[in-house]
């Protein structure tokens, strides 16, 4: 298959990534054009042994990271959401966008950036801390297992957030959410008194606009295909790096949505 046909389906996604990485449409598209010009001049730079999308992003990353200006530490920017990602240092910014916005596995993201998987995990963790420094929030944990609740609390606080309470039952969750107004909820499904964390969240959300991450051993109770499903779902037993990445992702998309709403009003 000609190279042009191989990469064509992936170009819209590369443009999305380039725009998010650079912070604006013009410079992002300019880098994509540079990639296409490079491939015309040196088609062998496209590694056909890799999945096409991975190979295309690898060429982009090689070009983007070859420019010293892209390796400079950005100045902190006011605001949150998209601005928060622009203010991330370059390598964590790339790892975060590749795995959250673009949906690459850590293995493929490592290939794109030319690093090991351990380095990708470190960069994502660093991105989480940098995002938290700009969008730190209060977190409510809904979890009936004390050890798991303690693990989640330590993970969340290691990113710079504050845990305002741990609810073990439906009633406790609704009461804490109403009185403490968290900016993020981590919720199990099966709670200590036999009640449902899902029911608690459904009671909380009409009165509180907040992202929710479900952490559960029963994902089939959520992924039914019959009703709106949660954007953020982690299956037990969970990995620490997964929780950290999804917490940062949830807050990034929350604040990006806020910025877009403000822009549309303005």
Cross-strand pairs, 167: 142
According to CATH, the superfamily of the domain at 136-235 is Response regulator (3.40.50.2300)
pLDDT value at position 264? 38
CATH 1.10.10.10 residue ranges of the chain are 75-135+243-266
pLDDT value at position 128? 82
Tokens encoding 85: 């990602």
Residue position matching structure tokens 């982690």? 234
pLDDT value at position 78? 40
Of the candidates 220, 160, 214, 210, the one whose C-alpha atom is nearest the C-alpha of residue 184 is 210
Cβ within 8 Å of residue 105, ≥6 positions away:
99
pLDDT value at position 209? 86
Tokens encoding 57: 């992003």
Cross-strand pairs, 235: 216
Tokens encoding 134: 């700009």
Residue position matching structure tokens 């994509």? 32
Cross-strand pairs, 214: 187, 233
pLDDT value at position 265? 38
pLDDT digit string (tens) for the chain, length 266 residues: 889 999 999 999 999 899 888 877 888 899 999 999 999 999 999 999 999 999 999 999 999 999 888 866 654 444 434 455 666 788 998 998 898 878 899 999 999 999 999 999 999 888 888 877 777 899 999 999 999 999 999 999 988 899 999 999 999 999 999 999 999 999 998 887 888 888 999 999 998 988 899 988 877 777 665 554 556 888 888 888 778 878 887 887 766 544 433 433 34
pLDDT value at position 258? 46
- Which helix (DSSP H) or strand (DSSP E) does residue 164 occupy? strand 162-167
CATH architecture of residue range(s) 75-135+243-266: Orthogonal Bundle (1.10)
Q: Return d(Cα 48, Cα 247) in angstroms, integer.
A: 35
pLDDT value at position 240? 83
pLDDT value at position 246? 83
Q: Return d(Cα 245, Cα 240) in angstroms, integer.
A: 9
Q: Return d(Cα 128, Cα 145) in angstroms, integer.
A: 25
Residue position matching structure tokens 């029963």? 218
Task: Supply the pTM of this predicted model.
Answer: 0.66
pLDDT value at position 230? 59
Residue position matching structure tokens 């779902």? 233
User: Which value, in Å, is the radius of gyration of the alpha carbons in the chain?
Assistant: 20
Topology adopted by domain 1-72: Rna Polymerase Sigma Factor; Chain: A (1.10.1740)
């Amino acid at each position: 298959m000609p190279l042009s046909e191989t990469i064509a389906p992936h170009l819209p996604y590369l443009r999305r990534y380039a725009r998010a990485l650079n912070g604006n449409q013009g410079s992002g598209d300019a880098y994509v054009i540079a990639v296409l010009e490079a491939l015309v001049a040196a088609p062998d730079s496209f590694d056909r042994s890799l999945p096409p999308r991975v190979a295309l992003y690898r060429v982009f990353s090689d070009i983007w990271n070859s420019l010293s200006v892209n390796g400079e530490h950005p100045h902190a920017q006011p605001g949150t959401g998209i601005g928060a990602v622009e203010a991330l240092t370059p390598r964590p910014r790339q790892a975060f966008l590749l795995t959250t916005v673009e949906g690459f596995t850590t293995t493929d993201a490592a290939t794109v950036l030319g690093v090991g998987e351990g380095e990708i995990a470190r960069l994502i963790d660093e991105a989480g801390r940098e995002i938290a420094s700009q969008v730190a929030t209060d977190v409510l944990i809904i979890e009936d297992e004390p050890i798991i609740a303690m693990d989640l609390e330590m993970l969340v606080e290691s990113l710079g957030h504050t845990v305002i309470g741990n609810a073990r039952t439906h009633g406790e969750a609704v009461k804490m959410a109403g009185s403490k107004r968290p900016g993020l909820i981590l919720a199990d499904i099966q709670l200590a008194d036999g009640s449902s964390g899902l029911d608690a969240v459904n009671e909380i959300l009409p009165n509180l606009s907040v992202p929710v991450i479900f952490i559960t051993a029963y994902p089939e109770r959520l992924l039914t295909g019959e009703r709106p499903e949660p954007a953020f779902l982690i299956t037990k037993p969970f990995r620490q790096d997964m929780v950290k990445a999804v917490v940062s992702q949830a807050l990034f998309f929350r604040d990006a949505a806020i910025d877009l709403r403000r822009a549309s009003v303005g």
